[in-house]
Every structure is written in C-alpha cells, then in structure tokens.
Structure 1
Amino acid sequence: MITENTKVEDLRKHKDLKTLFPYFIYNQVGDGAGNFKKDATCLKEIEQKNPTWAAEDMVYGLRQLEQICASGGQVLFDVYDSKEVQESPDKECVKLIYFPAKQCNNGSRKTIILAAGGAYGSVCSMVESFPVAARLAELGVDAFCLNYRVADGKALFPRPMEDMGAACQFLMQHQDTLGINMEHYAVGGFSAGGHLAACWGTPELGYAAYQVSKPDIILLAYPMIDVWKTVSLAPLPIRAMMLSGYLGKDHSQKVCDVYNVEQHMDMTYPPAFVVQAEDDPTVPVWNSQVFIEQLQTLQIPYCYEHPQHGLHGFGLGTNTEAVGWVDRAFAFWNKLERD
C-alpha cells in the first residue's frame, strides 16, 4: 500500500502504476520524478522540500489510481492517434489519466478535464490533478487529468491549447464507449495549467476554435492569467528563458497578448470558480483579481475564494486555509445547473 513513506523508486517499479509513472511529474526528461532525482526520496520528503505539496494528498490520489488499476479499469488514454503522433512525435506524451466517478451525482452526470501546473516546463499531476480528481470522482464526477506538451526548446504556444482541444474532442467522440457525459463538462487547472484552462473559455484559443461545446464552468486554482506581466516580474535570465520557451526567440508583448486571458474574454465566457491565497509568492494574486474583475464587467457568474494564507501549489488544499475548496466548487457547479 502507498504511504507517505513510499519512495520514488517504489512508484517507478509499482506493478500497477509503472506505466503511469512518467506522467506523475512530467517533464522533457520524462522520468516522472520531476526534479526529485534520488529514487530513495519518499513522499514525505517531497513535502518537506515543497511544503504545499502535501504527502497526505499525494497518497490519496495515488491510492485511488492504484485501486482503479487493480480492478482492471483502463486508466491511461492516448489523446492523439498513431498517424498524428507519426506526423508530430511530440504529441506522443499527450495522455489522459482517468479517475471514474465512484457514485451517481444527484444531478446530471458530469465530466472534468484537469491540467496541473509546472510553469509550462513540467506537469505536476501527482501533487495537483490526481488528488483533486480523486475527490471529484468520490463526488460523482468522471475526472480526467491531462498530460500536455511542455517547453522543449521550440516555441511552445499554442501546443498546450491544441492538446486541450484534442482531449475534449477525444472525450466527445468516445463518451458512449467510456460511459461518460460530455454534455455537462468542466475544465480546470492549476497555475500554468490554470492559464491553459482559462484559455479554454476564450473564442480564439478555446472550445469554439475546436468546435467543442462550451463547458459548464471553469475551475481555476492560483491561475496565471496575464502571461507577459507575470513573467516580466521574474529575474531577467529566467524571464528571457520562459518567454523564449513559450513564444520562441522573437517574443514580444504583442505576440504574448494573444495568450493573455482577460484581453480575450467576452460575454460568452463560461462561469468560473477561482481559488488563490493572498500570500501566493509565485503567481501574484492580482492574476485572479483581474480575471474576476473581467467576469464582473461581463456579468458572468463566478465564485472567488482568496484565503489569506495558503501559498502556491496547494492542490487539494489539505491542511491549508483553502481546505474543502473542491467540494465548494462542485456545489457551485451544481447550483449553476439548477439555476
């Protein structure tokens, strides 16, 4: 059984989870261990190095994955087919990891696609998407965690947006086979993944561009909304590296504005639930504030939680002032459906 003392090497060799391991903390190395190079590192030690990455939450998500795999259920899905991967080999890493609903929701059956953060240089699903997906599955939502393309030396954007579009199209096309309902679906994300999820509500980068129906709601945890302004606060070497990674060598504010969410929101933008701590040291809280102000201007329903303390990267939020936010977001989603 997975515990807080389970080591990286144990997860790498786990009989049921080893095929999923590369997507636990995905980066271009592709080893699933992110920046934890020592296989002897345990989940509790990961938390000690990154205090908002609660070992308790990682265990919760991984145990549920373990149970799904042990029951024989399919967990890992390719978003792109073999022909698409042959034409663009970088698409091979784009996957969906499935947490099926554990119970019937009182309302209509629902589906969510979650995108973990990692500054678009990694996808930290093990600490963000997996625990939240596990909780939503217990609440009756079919939850899918998206592993999307990250920086690889070429201009990244808009490839993650293409991956979200392809993932939603895949689920639309296979909803009968999977037994899910994409008539009521949401998109959610954390940090950089929150930027990706927020883009999904805009006409140029989101659902309309991929001929997919509008989501019921967008769920955002500590999202990056204004890419240029946020990245510009970083020290010059890091700033240059990030902008080159996102936009290519010829990056400029004009090019970046295409990906600044609030500039492209209109009255068709979906309702939103947003949570971000006031003391977030990584993504300034004004990102959420400008997003909420735009929702207010457009008269779009929203719920905004901004606990004073919580820092960045808290995922499910256990042992923080944000604890329970997933249940409250789910309740807000249900309220929107009733209204």
Structure 2
Amino acid sequence: MATAQQEMPLYGSDPIPNSRNAANAETVDSSGNPVRYSYSKVSRPTLTVWQPPAGKRTGTAVIVVPGGGYVHLAMTHEGTDVAAWLNSLGITAFVLKYRLPSDETMVDKTIGPLQDAQRAIQVVRQRAAEWGVRPGCIGILGFSAGGHLASTAETHFMTPVIANPAGVSLRPDFAVLLYPVISFDDSTGHRGSRDNLIGQHPSAALIQKYSNQLQVTDQTPPTFLVHAEDDKTVPVVNSIYFYEALLRHHVPAEMHLYPTGGHGFGLWNHTTKDQWPDRLKNWLATGGWL
C-alpha cells in the first residue's frame, strides 16, 4: 500500500544541535525470528517518509516513534510495520530514528530525544504541502520509551529545545501512546528509561519535569492510550495516571486496557480478538483525521 520510502537526515545539511564531536558508533541488530531491526547508539537522527498512494491520501500525518528504553530503537514492529499500516488508512507516516541519550555524543542528553521529536514536527509542518499533509492534522504515535518521548512532545511543546525562528507550532494535533512510559517516579516508572535519559541520580525537579502526567495542561492535544494490565515492564498505571490527568484538564481522551498482552506487542496483541488498531481507526475517524 505504500510508495517507495524516503529516508532523510532530520536536520538536513544543518549541524545536529546539542552534539559533541564523536564518531558514529550506530549498530544494527537484525537477528531473531521473525527478523526485527533494532538500532543502538544512534547519534545521526533521520526521518523516513512513508506515503500512501496519491489517490488514497487523507492529508493526515503521523510521526512514528519506536520504543526501546532509550537504549535501542525497535524499528520494525514499532516503526516500519506501523507506518505500513497507517498507509493502509491513507495516512502519511514519518518514522523517526531519534538520537539515543549519551554523554559521549550529546552536551545535554536529557533534551536530545525531545529535540529530535520537536524537529520532526517542525519539518513535517513546514513541508506539509510537499507531502500532501494538512498542517493541522499532524499526530505523533509512540511505543514504550517512544511513548514517553511522544508524551513529552505533547506536553512540553511550549518550551522549544530547538531553533524555531519561524515560530512553527511544535504542538502535535493528536497523540497515540502504546504501553507508554509516563512517570519517572521510583514506584511506577520504568527505571531503565529514566536512568538512560536523565541519569542514575537525577534531581527531584528533573524527575518531575519528565513525569509527564504532571505536565498535562488544558492545551495538551487529544490522546489515545493502549496498555495491557499484566505489563511487567511498564506498569499499566502509567497510562492510567496520564488518562486521569487528561480528564482533569478536559482534554479529549480514549483509553483501552487489555487484561493480558504483556509489554512490547506492537500492532497486534495476540491474547485478544479485539485489536487496538481497529479502535484507533474509529477514534481517528471520529476526530476528523480520516
């Protein structure tokens, strides 16, 4: 259903902000059955455009943010597979290969991934006409730690961490969070994601800043959440806390919780006949994005 994909440097010919002069140590693991690509030590971010056929395009765009605990990127089942499915709905997908936090490659690793997420929104909005996208129909979709990054993008857009001289809106128009890391609290968060992003001994202020249920405002965009109750990696309360915060601020939200499914199921939770992509399709149609 998709046309040829175009991968491009996220910052074009401009210098990558917040970067140290370090060698490119990126590695790719394609082992396993089925084969899934996992990228580690990413320091050169890219954006890959997945276009549906011209006659099928709805004008909606979704930036896809794979997970991996801020230590690797699950680029297949939480990236390219999702982009292909979005194309089947007529949505133009943009798979974000974002920088993974590292003191070796970044001056401030705590903002590196958010810089890339904001830049992706900026690029898609600036070049919307080129890709047949409506500038007011740009969403972000993230899994696990990618869900943390997506929820950071939707709650921190008023504080740019990239150059934005044209004043392009960095606010996604909607967000989709799949088994997301939301809280960095000791009791409910995913410690690995927290340690990788903000360090093993972060200040209370930094923990609060990136506990995104505490950053929801009335301007946070509509959000769709999915989680399994038996998730042992990222407790289901992460989604619940975020959903409750959205309700308190009167932000339109929909959440689907499944009794089983664990963590990292990607597009298909094989423990249930009810599949979240079907629910998401309905939600997107109701919101006017299909």
State the TM bucket, normalised to the shorter chain: 0.7 to 0.9
Alignment of 1:151-230 (within 5 A): 151-153=101-103, 156-202=109-155, 205-206=156-157, 209=160, 211-212=168-169, 214-229=171-186
Please give the TM-score of this superposition, normalised by the length of structure 2: 0.80
* Structure with the bigger percentage of strand: 2
Q: 1:139 aligns with which of 85, 89, 93?
A: 89
Name the counterpart of 1:7: none
Is 2:87 the partner of 1:115? no
By how many angstroms is 1:182 displaced? 2.8
Name the counterpart of 1:305: 256
**Residue type of the partner of 1:76?**
E
Q: Which residues of structure 2 form unaligned runs of 5+?
A: 23-41
The change in CA–CA distance for 1:309 and 1:248 in structure 2 (over 3 A counts) is: closer
- Structure 1 residue matching 2:288: 3-state secondary structure: helix
Name the counterpart of 1:24: none
Q: What is the distance in 1 between the residues matched to 2:14 and 2:172?
A: 28
User: Can you list the C-alpha shifts for 1:172-214, whole angstroms capped at 9, x where unaligned?
Assistant: 2222223333321111100000011111221xx2266364253
By how many angstroms is 1:224 displaced? 0.6
Q: What is the distance in 1 between the residues matched to 2:196 and 2:12?
A: 26
Name the counterpart of 1:315: 266
Name the counterpart of 2:33: none
User: Can you list the C-alpha shifts for 1:28-82, whole angstroms capped at 9, x where unaligned?
Assistant: xxxxxxxxxxxxxxxxxxxxxxxxxxxxxxxxxxxx7xx74xxxx3421111123
Given that 1:103 and 1:139 are in contact with CA atoms closer than 8 Å, whether structure 2 keeps it comes out as no
- Structure 2 residue matching 1:180: 3-state secondary structure: coil
- Structure 2 residue matching 1:82: 3-state secondary structure: coil
User: Can you list the C-alpha shifts for 1:141-198, whole angstroms capped at 9, x where unaligned?
Assistant: 0011101011324552111110011111111222222333332111110000001111
The structure having more radius of gyration, on CA atoms, is 1
Name the counterpart of 2:32: none
By how many angstroms is 1:110 displaced? 0.4
By how many angstroms is 1:250 displaced? 5.2
- Structure 1 residue matching 2:129: 3-state secondary structure: helix
By how many angstroms is 1:133 displaced? 1.3
* Structure with the bigger percentage of helix: 1
Please give the TM-score of this superposition, normalised by the length of structure 1: 0.69
Q: 2:6 aligns with which of 75, 82, 97?
A: 75
Given that 1:101 and 1:142 are in contact with CA atoms closer than 8 Å, whether structure 2 keeps it comes out as yes
Q: What is the distance in 2 between the residues matched to 1:319 and 1:249?
A: 35
By how many angstroms is 1:329 displaced? 1.1
Q: Which residues of structure 1 form unaligned runs of 5+?
A: 1-63
Name the counterpart of 1:262: 213
Q: What is the distance in 2 between the residues matched to 1:215 and 1:173?
A: 13
- Superposed CA RMSD in Å reads 2.7
Q: What is the distance in 1 between the residues matched to 2:17 and 2:150?
A: 27
Q: What is the distance in 2 between the residues matched to 1:192 and 1:299?
A: 25
User: Can you list the C-alpha shifts for 1:291-315, whole angstroms capped at 9, x where unaligned?
Assistant: 1111111121111100111110011
By how many angstroms is 1:322 displaced? 7.2
The change in CA–CA distance for 1:120 and 1:336 in structure 2 (over 3 A counts) is: same
Q: What is the distance in 2 between the residues matched to 1:138 and 1:182?
A: 20
- Structure 2 residue matching 1:143: 3-state secondary structure: strand
By how many angstroms is 1:83 displaced? 3.1
Q: What is the distance in 2 between the residues matched to 1:85 and 1:101?
A: 29
- Structure 2 residue matching 1:255: 3-state secondary structure: helix
- Structure 2 residue matching 1:145: 3-state secondary structure: strand
By how many angstroms is 1:85 displaced? 3.5
By how many angstroms is 1:231 displaced? 7.3
Given that 2:188 and 2:235 are in contact with CA atoms closer than 8 Å, whether structure 1 keeps it comes out as no
Q: What is the distance in 2 between the residues matched to 1:281 and 1:121?
A: 18
Q: What is the distance in 2 between the residues matched to 1:232 and 1:216?
A: 26
